[in-house]
Structure 1
């Protein structure tokens, strides 16, 4: 809250506009008895005390009721705090006023045009004055999209225009048209040559097609729910809901009811319009109309989720739903007479709603067909057979529950009917609910139905794993050996010169460390991996990369977040001389006195007794933690078995192992140039300074071998030390602040900052490590995936233990 208030202090134009709005609303309410204090939100044009020429100006700062004033105020403050630092105060104020006036002019032009061509029968809208502050806020929002990255701006624009269009088609008021006009004006006012040519070469609009299509499908699915929530929706899509979706009678059944003496064919028209409407509204069903809308809404949201992941099955189902809507609309055209039209108080009052519904479905179908190449991710064999079995199980269970409810209270339904009639109306709703559950589960990136790891494009190399392991020896970062670990999939670029190890978690393709191989064009490698991930419906994310990769990704328009500080000890400057290294000398001297020495081995060199000791030490270490052992970039016993990994063990004369560390190799052009610390374990009750001893001995050995550096790995969520150099990578301040708070919160549980202070004994150089994503909006999903990668089995019990330990640490217990 304090940060929000501090941000608003630097937004004088926003605060001024909001203050004028409150003064105007209170003044009108007190002086003229209209506005938020009025009993009804009638048009401002009805107030004859206000001159006609001034009504548009007054409308800029007024709302129809008190709730609207509070909502618009919150919206304006949020948008203003984000937009004003980017636009400037004077520019924001001009865009606000100009956007609102242009929106009113646009709305008036649309209404007069519709009236002139005969598409609206009412002249009420011609004299109506819009009462809303929201258009100028929307204008500011759209103008600011020129000041953000292109992926984010596309998402904001698509979501805004789709939302405004759906509201216009459902609510049907003039203010909805004005909002669209204000959005267009804001988009025009915000453009400048500098904004249009801003830095960053994003992955392209094609990669964003699935997300945009998903937004549109989700918006279409909200129409029924929104029309049910609004008191008096007057838009064409609201009328469609009343005529079609509220009714659960088939067209043939409706015709039978309206024609008790029979009819000749399906093309017979209904003579009495009220018959169709009343039967549609009065038809009883197993589920209430509002639940019917909810089921459809959830179904479309599930489809949108699948489309956003580029799932081919979601595309097929979305096409089928639009085809079904078109066919159903055409059938209803023959059953509902042409004189069933919209009420006279909204825009398209002369256009039959069924034709409008068919037109919308046709447009959606064309859009889906034109973008079919963006939905190529297929499920493995057997996925949908299993989904069908589960759907049948859900439907049968639903029918059993329905039977029990009917048996307990048959009079609780909206119309008296037998259980057979009740079941006849139930399958559509039950199937929608079942499909919703199964689609979400099937389209999800992980789970038992569709393991996301099966969705990947294999490289042309027959043995990609061996190819990747060879590339690691040719070049990479200090953590690149982790790409070869079990659980990672190999990815090789088109030219076969570079690659990454990645794993798919919760729909996110997590690539670890810097790319391996002879990387000449880092930007090309980043772009290719991002395109590969998005082709498979994943969110690409590069984790624990260094500044070179982060710079190349930012040039492509990606977002960089600093997540750790790697402690690197250069061998050319390493020494144990001086007061700063007193603790390290003490550890080495004390070990000599107590008969503890260090040996360098591999797992294969150890006798079975030595391996058992290491397993016991690791198990003892895990038992002492409040949470299960972490994985992903933190190795365990399995990673110690790699013959390329060097182990340093501290043993005494009785061959008791007091501690163990593992060291990953770092290569350049086939030559070993460094070692990176991975596993670090000590025996409980053993030599206390064993870890310092093992690290010192490794540094001395690497220095004698002529290696360039020893990496002590990164300290996650730890702040950069004062000695760290400032990075040239541009970071988002609010993200850095958020991660700093998370690091402080998790310190009692994981001790990341204590680990960073321990490594500081070696006087290392610090290199920042980054998380890279194409779109800042994807950071929450990526963060969740990273957490799941580290703790795949994290459950309720672990969360309780973590919370208890954190609370004890805070309370000092």
Structure 2
């Protein structure tokens, strides 16, 4: 029922927008518009109404209880009017109003249709259970009142400056009438220019749309991992997933299975409950943790999605009712199999030798081996070498450095011939015998080939650390780059590769693939899990925001830019 209602209202919204924008089409479809408006659901050739209907459709699709109530109210008003019309028409000779258009049969038919729709809505009441933010109705009323007040003040100033034929003593009443959309009609001996009326109506429409957006807004969740939850998460970290340690990020939340043996680590971003990687804990309890997570998302009207899931995790999410899409591959180095010999490793070998000849040195140690002063220096360099305004990462980044609880993390430092820092890599534990790349920073003036030098040095030092596997970067759509470059590749995969190469001008798509493939790693597929195909764009935007690739501007930022 929610999906059917959402699709129906979406069609009405598109129809309203089209007939509002194209006058010839509006005149040609006037009969259909009148039929729908009279017998099914209110409809008008108005962009503001189209936007409102689209918002209502989206809220119904997310099973918002308040949207269901609003539809019931609208149907109740229509039902009352139809019933009143039938009762009145029964006492009118011939079953018609004087000068009216509706007959008794038409009005009775409308009454039957509206009654059936009302019965369907009441019957499906339990399907609309999603909550909105606390006091959303009060916030929406305050938003509407405040914005309408702004619309009135601006409108009155416009009417004062461009009054046209409207007399001075009528300006305030005329402005108020048009600000409220003509809910009360006061005859006026004149009027200002038509563009003034249009602007006032536009501002009022924006006020109405904004108020409904506030009304339908999903419940937000604080992106904070409570200390007790972090402790429980740490006890559940195992050997399976290289991304498991990132579940201890403190800007995520966690929801546990009823037994407490598994948990899903997530953050709510723009109405998407975005899980990072696989659930942690006992795989036998993953299904229950995923069910608790999706139930919570449904209760609050969030869209569930998981980014960076392994093949095993993707199957678990799929059993939990989500769809799965391969996102790319993670590069994993087998320490025992890695070697710099051979023709295929010639580029890496030459880079390592060049950096060594330049006098660079390497230091590999656990975080707990650094003294506080050394760690402060490392943190300062990591901050200074960051090439973005904010820290990036969500599914494959820890988001902190130097925390005492992360003492088992491994730091790889490259130093220049004079002993100054040149670059650093930080890895989080992957179980007891693995490492997963967290942070990569370098001085831009340092020698080329520094990363190859550091990775090779880490592999050499790995046995002493008890490490036998190292997870490097994640290459998005890795197979497209690889297969699209092969001789005989089909036109579709070649076109897809060209598109990715074009997008690589702004995002590190090809460069991440190139940075990993030189080590000839084992490629481990990673997946995106999502609820509905219609939500893919929304999930993609939320993922980009969470990972730090997209940062929606806030009002203070816009003001600062304006001052600059």
Compute the TM-score of the two structures, normalised by the length of structure 2. 0.76
Match of 1:111 in 2: none
Q: 1:217 to 1:591 in 2, by over 3 A?
A: closer
Instruction: Between 306-315 and 766-775, report the one with greater CA deviation.
Output: 306-315
SS state at 1:719 partner: helix
The equivalent residue for 1:545 is 309
Q: Secondary structure at the match of 1:305?
A: helix
More strand by share: 2
Counterpart selection for 1:572 from 336, 340, 361: 336
Change (3 A) 1:782 1:244: closer
Task: Tell me the equivalent position of 1:764.
Answer: 521
Which is bigger in relative contact order (C-alpha 8 A, separation at least 6)?
A: 2
- Partner residue, 2:28: 231
**Alignment partner of 1:509 is 2:305:** no
Q: Distance in 2 between matches of 1:464 and 1:390?
A: 36
Structure-2 change in CA distance of 1:401 and 1:362 (3 Å): farther
Q: How much has 1:785 moved relative to structure 2? A: 1.5
* Equivalence map 1:464-543=2 (5 Å): 464-472=229-237, 474-520=238-284, 526=290, 528-543=292-307
2:192 is the alignment partner of 1:400: no
2:467 corresponds to 1:707: yes
What residue is the counterpart of 1:215 in the other structure? 7
Provide the residue aligned with 1:4 in structure 2.
Answer: none
Q: 1:750 to 1:216 in 2, by over 3 A?
A: closer
Q: Hey, what's the Cα distance between the residues in 1 that align with 2:104 and 2:19?
A: 18
Cα RMSD of the aligned pairs, angstroms, is: 4.3
SS of corresponding position for 2:511: helix
What is the SS of the residue equivalent to 2:393? coil
For residues 698 and 632 of structure 1, what CA distance do their matches in structure 2 show? 24
Cα distance in structure 2, aligned partners of 1:636 and 1:454: 18
CA distance in 2, matches of 1:504, 1:605: 35
Pair 705,462 (structure 1): closer, same or farther in 2 beyond 3 Å: closer
Cα shift at 1:500: 1.7
> Does the CA contact (< 8 Å) of 1:565 and 1:718 recur in 2?
yes
Contact kept in structure 1, 2:328 and 2:478, CA below 8 Å: yes
Contact 1:239/1:353, CA 8 A, preserved across alignment:
no
| 2:458 corresponding residue in structure 1 | 698
Say which of 203, 207, 211 aligns to 1:438: 211
Q: Do the aligned partners of 1:622 and 1:629 also contact (CA within 8 Å) in 2?
A: no
- Residues 512 and 543 of structure 1 are in contact (CA less than 8 Å); yes or no, is this contact kept in structure 2? yes
Within a 5 Å distance, the mapping from 1:171-210 to structure 2 comes to 209-210=1-2
* Contact 2:348-2:452 at 8 Å conserved across structures: yes
Q: Which residue of 2 aligns with 1:793?
A: 551
SS in 2 for 1:635: coil
Unaligned runs of 5+ in 1: 1-208, 247-288, 725-732, 797-813
| Residues 366/426 of structure 1: CA separation in 2 closer, same or farther (3 Å cut) | farther
**Which structure is larger by alpha-carbon Rg, 1 or 2?**
1
Provide closer, same or farther for how the CA distance between residues 586 and 462 of structure 1 changes in structure 2, counting only shifts above 3 A. closer
Contact 2:132/2:300, CA 8 A, preserved across alignment:
no
Question: What does the per-residue CA deviation read over 1:2-39, in whole Å, with 9 as the maximum and x for residues that have no partner?
Answer: xxxxxxxxxxxxxxxxxxxxxxxxxxxxxxxxxxxxxx
Residues of 2 paired with 1:711 and 1:526: CA distance? 25
Instruction: State the number of aligned residues.
Output: 513
> Which position in structure 2 is the counterpart of 1:453?
221
Match of 1:620 in 2: 385
Structure-to-structure mapping, 1:235-634, within 5 angstroms: 238=35, 240-241=37-38, 290-291=45-46, 294-333=47-86, 337=92, 338-339=95-96, 352-404=105-157, 408-409=162-163, 420=173, 423=176, 427=180, 434-445=207-218, 452-453=220-221, 463-472=228-237, 474-520=238-284, 526=290, 528-554=292-318, 558-586=322-350, 594=359, 596-602=361-367, 605-608=370-373, 610-622=375-387, 629-633=391-395
Query: How far 1:397 sits from its partner (Å)?
Result: 2.5
- In the alignment, is the contact (CA less than 8 A) between 1:558 and 1:773 conserved in 2? yes
Is the CA contact 2:382–2:441 (under 8 Å) kept in the aligned structure 1?
yes
Q: How much does 1:490 deviate?
A: 0.6
2:433 is matched with 673
Alignment of 1:138-153 (within 5 A): none
Distance 2:69 2:402 in 1: 47
SS in 2 for 1:214: helix
2:185 corresponds in structure 1 to: none
Alpha-carbon offset, residue 579 of structure 1? 3.6
Is 1:651 the counterpart of 2:415? The answer is yes
* Residues 378 and 455, structure 1, Cα contact 8 Å, conserved in 2: no
User: Take 2:468 and 2:442, find their aligned partners in 1: how far apart are those partners?
Assistant: 27
Partner of 2:197: none
| Equivalent residue runs for 1:34-45 within 5 Å | none
Indicate conservation of the 8 Å contact 1:310/1:536, yes or no. Answer: no
Distance in 2 of aligned mates of 1:738 and 1:558:
29
* 2:374 corresponds to 1:635: no
CA distance in 2, matches of 1:501, 1:356: 53
Secondary structure of 1:744 counterpart: helix
Contact between 2:223 and 2:253, CA under 8 Å: does it hold in 1?
no
CA distance in 2, matches of 1:583, 1:244: 68
Shift of 1:556: 6.5
**Does 327-336 or 653-662 show the bigger shift?**
327-336
